[in-house]
Amino acid sequence: MPSSGAQRVLLEVCVDSLESAVIAQENGADRLEVCANLAVGGGTTPSLGLARCILEHVRLPIMVLIRCRTGDFYYTPSELAVMVADIRAIALLAEEHKDREVGVVIGALSSNGTVDEPAVRALLQAAGHMPVTFHRAFDMVRDADEAMRTISDITGIGRILTSGLAPSCITGLECIARLSRSSQALSLMPGSGIKSTNVDQLLHVLYPIWHAQGTGFEIHLSAGGYFSPQGGGFRREGMGFGLGVTATDAEEKERREWGRWCVRAEELREVRRLVDVFVVGQA
């Protein structure tokens, strides 16, 4: 563990099952982002039942993804109404668990690639006093600095989850570093593609910025992968679930079409170890 003179780095792990939530808690996670369909299009709003079960079986703070569908972040009035209703349902659940930190993860864009400020404000109003993260819709904006200014002007958003407008936060690391240096009110949480093989590279760049500004000190990852169903099971020939799996390797295609996504305990433990070792070295 980091010494008393070092700032511990928080690990937020995204999960879409109770099993993953328990594994994450047992292997070094500090907070959970709760989603559904994590490995399909980046995740969607989880069921109220999943959020409730995680609160009943896991003691970590949770942030619930509010995203009514996969695809772009340009929402119709009816889609916005669904997300507002979802946030209100999560707010009621949070009231039942006042001893827990429960928040939401939101985002909306206009078709011109800017932050949809009216939509975001409507979602924030529904969130009330819950903690709020702006999700990776940020990575789809036309101009990161413009989007940062808009989000900073909307009171109530505590952090932005971002890969630096790149497919992974390692590719977008320079952008994340630049935005982090310029941010006064918002914390930028790097996420997408963080693994035990590259987390040290990320920390070498971002930790000194966090230390200088006294903010940040958190990363977001899944530490997950596809698992084949235990015991196999009957397969009707030529049938699948319409997921558009294109893997050429037969075993990998089987895992993606018929398997499930789950946190890998050994990977998360290794990330936790490497992060703590790095922080100790900064003390």
Please report the domains of the chain, with CATH numbers, ordered by start residue.
10-223+264-282 (3.20.20.380)
Model confidence, pTM: 0.92
Confidence at residue 189, expressed as pLDDT on a 0 to 100 scale: 98
Identity at 59, one-letter amino acid code: R
Confidence at residue 185, expressed as pLDDT on a 0 to 100 scale: 79
Confidence at residue 240, expressed as pLDDT on a 0 to 100 scale: 63
Confidence at residue 40, expressed as pLDDT on a 0 to 100 scale: 82
Confidence at residue 3, expressed as pLDDT on a 0 to 100 scale: 46
Long-range pairs, 69-76, Cβ under 8 A, ≥24: 69/44, 70/37, 70/40, 70/41, 70/42, 70/44, 71/41, 72/109, 72/140, 73/107, 73/108, 73/109, 73/116, 73/137, 73/140, 74/108, 74/109, 74/110, 74/111, 74/116, 75/108, 75/116, 75/119
Along the chain (283 residues), what's the average pLDDT of each consecutive run of 10 residues? 71 98 98 93 95 98 97 97 98 96 98 98 97 98 97 95 97 97 90 98 96 93 83 68 60 68 96 97 85
Q: Is 117 exposed, middle or buried (0-12, 13-18, 19+ CB in 10 A)?
A: middle
